Amino acid sequence: MVRNRQNDSGTMSALTTPESLLVQPVSSNPYLTGASLQPPPLLIEPEPVQEPRIAPELEARQALPEPPEQQLESQVTPPVPETLADTGLQATIVEQLIFKLLYFRGDVVGRDLSTALGLKFSIIEDQIEFLKRQHLVQVKRSLGMGNSGAVFALTEAGRVLTREYLESNQYSGPAPVPLYQYTTIVRRQRRQDGWLTHEALVKAYSKMVVTRHILSQIGPAVSSGNSFLIYGQPGNGKTYLAEALDGLDDSYIYIPYAIECQGMIVQVFDPIYHHPIQEEEVESALSFEPKYDKRWIKIRRPFLVTGGELSMDMLDLNYNAVSKVYDAPYQVKANNGIYLIDDFGRQRCTPAEVLNRWIVPMERRVDYLSFQTGGKMTVPFEAFLIFSTNLRPEQLGDEAFLRRIQYKMLMRSPDAKEFAEIFERFCSSRNLPKEVGLVDRFIEKRYRATKKPLRRCHPRDVLGHVIDLINFEKLDYFLSEDLLDRAFESCFLEERDE
């Protein structure tokens, strides 16, 4: 590989990268063990007239055979790459990251440079030596222990070259993970059949009043990981019911900081939605053996929520024109986790547009994303989609659309017994004493007599107003019928006198 570079005098000189630095696919790659270098496609492609296809050679590179069922989720750890070939990256990608890190950080110790890249220093040592010989990188001083203890900095020629690289993109984080490695790990982190137990579900909803019937509807949907629609009248706890699943278990997964595909960088890790799990690792100045590939980060299974702000462009790659780096869409960030589309039907796009966008992903567990250049990338679709809506199902789409959502559940209004229990629990949680028989009288007076429908949110809302009244008027901390009536009237609209 021959590239033109600018030397210190400002003239261009031909620079040949040593053959040892060029990525040569080898069977020792831990992601390709037991598989040929051109594995069969992992996923069934849709009809060409419905979905764009990508080059066959890229499909072969991106896809790996389905992992055996017993390997799914069980002790899934991204293997630590020992060579440049194991990383799955071209030498030029790693080299450019070295330049950018030195450009933005200034003087950097060798081992800190490798840590920032998420790679062992032995992987980049040959490249560092090569760049030193070309007078692009210099050693400012040494702390001992060879190149790993040396302090590196760019030369003026190196800074000029780095500015050229920054025109391509400004990504300077950990080395990206090639798409085929990302696909492999995501598939293996898929939930095993039968992972959810009834006891775990009951524990997740321990702070909520739910019937056995509701649990029997939620359980199979969550266990399967297929799409789930919760619909019903507002105020009955649909969103709360879905959000409680965030605490269902404390298992973890690995996600990459970024993905590389067709020379493009796609950032995946998002500190807003991804919560890292801190681990203690034994590190010394002489040796440091990571437990897993540090281009990945260990996090809790993600739980993402979007509401009325969702638009169609948020479901595809988001290109940053300044950094020239792509940001992954929500469904990619939610892979191996849960993605709740709250208030479905109130988005800036129609329900039909959203469902049409996800018809193929929901059925085949594969999604197609578009680059600005016109290229496509195929990514796994392993997010558990939950749709929550106040609209009637027929307002969302026709039968063909709704059939794509595997599970549906009507969140009915509570009966008087459920309502009373919710009321009692909220009083207990606020340590609010009350008159004997007050709840039954309240239900009879304000609901049965007026035929007002019961809602699960009403006890919280009304009792919240009671506490506000007590605090404002400096009353005794006690729930009386008079206070409850006043709070009820301030909660709900009344017909105006004309």
Residues 6+ apart with CB under 8 A from 95: 21, 127, 131
Asked if residue 485 is part of any domain, the answer here is yes
Boundaries of domain holding 40: 2-25+32-173
Q: Could you tell me the pLDDT band of residue 476, with boundaries at 50, 70 and 90?
A: very high
Q: What is the pLDDT of residue 308?
A: 87
pLDDT: which is higher, 305 or 351: 305
| Cβ(232)–Cβ(238) below 8 Å | yes
pLDDT greater at residue 498 or residue 246:
246
**Backbone torsions φ then ψ of 195, nearest 5 degrees:** -70, -25
pLDDT at site 396: 85
- CB-CB contact of 388 with 242 (8 Å): yes
The answer to whether residue 11 scores a pLDDT higher than 90 is: no
Q: What is the CATH number of the domain that holds 54?
A: 1.10.10.10
pLDDT 10s digits, 57-105: 334 344 444 444 444 444 689 999 999 999 999 999 999 999 999 999 9
Domain boundary (388, 410, 432) is at: 410
Say if residue 317 is in the same domain as residue 371.
Answer: yes
Do 292 and 153 reside in the same domain of the chain? no
Residue 29, pLDDT score: 55
Residue 1 has a pLDDT of: 40
In a domain, 181, yes or no: no
Which amino acid, one-letter code, is at 179?
L
DSSP 361-372: HHHHSEEEEE-T
Task: Report the percentage of the chain scoring pLDDT > 90.
Answer: 66
How far apart, in whole angstroms, are the C-alpha atoms of residue 363 and residue 77?
27
What are 413's two structure tokens?
Answer: 């209004």
Q: To which H or E segment does residue 16 belong?
A: strand 12-16
d(CA 316, CA 369): 6
Based on the fold, state whether residues 395 and 455 are members of the same structural domain: no
Last residue in a domain, options 395, 410, 425: 410
Q: Residue 426's domain is classified under what CATH number?
A: 1.10.8
Q: What is the pLDDT of residues 108-131, one digit of tens each?
A: 999 999 999 999 999 999 999 999
User: pLDDT value at position 401?
Assistant: 77
Asked if residue 179 lies in contact with residue 379, where contact means CB atoms within 8 angstroms, the answer is: yes
What is the per-residue pLDDT for 251?
86
Sequence-distant (6+) residues with CB within 8 A of 422 are 209, 414, 456, 459, 460
**410 - beta bridge partners?**
231
Chosen domain end from 368, 387, 410: 410
Please indicate, yes or no, whether residues 215 and 360 belong to a single structural domain of this protein: yes
Query: At CA 416, angle to CA 412 and CA 421, rounded to 5?
Result: 95
What is the predicted pLDDT for the residue at 30? 55
One domain for residues 359 and 478: no
Give the least confident one: 39-48, 97-106, 209-218, 252-261: 39-48
Q: Which residue, among 305, 280, 487, has the nearest Cα to 386 in the 3D structure?
A: 305
The token pair at 172 is 């300077």
In single-letter form, the type of residue at position 74 comes to: S
pLDDT of 428 > 80? The answer is yes
The pLDDT, as a whole number, for residue 400 is 76
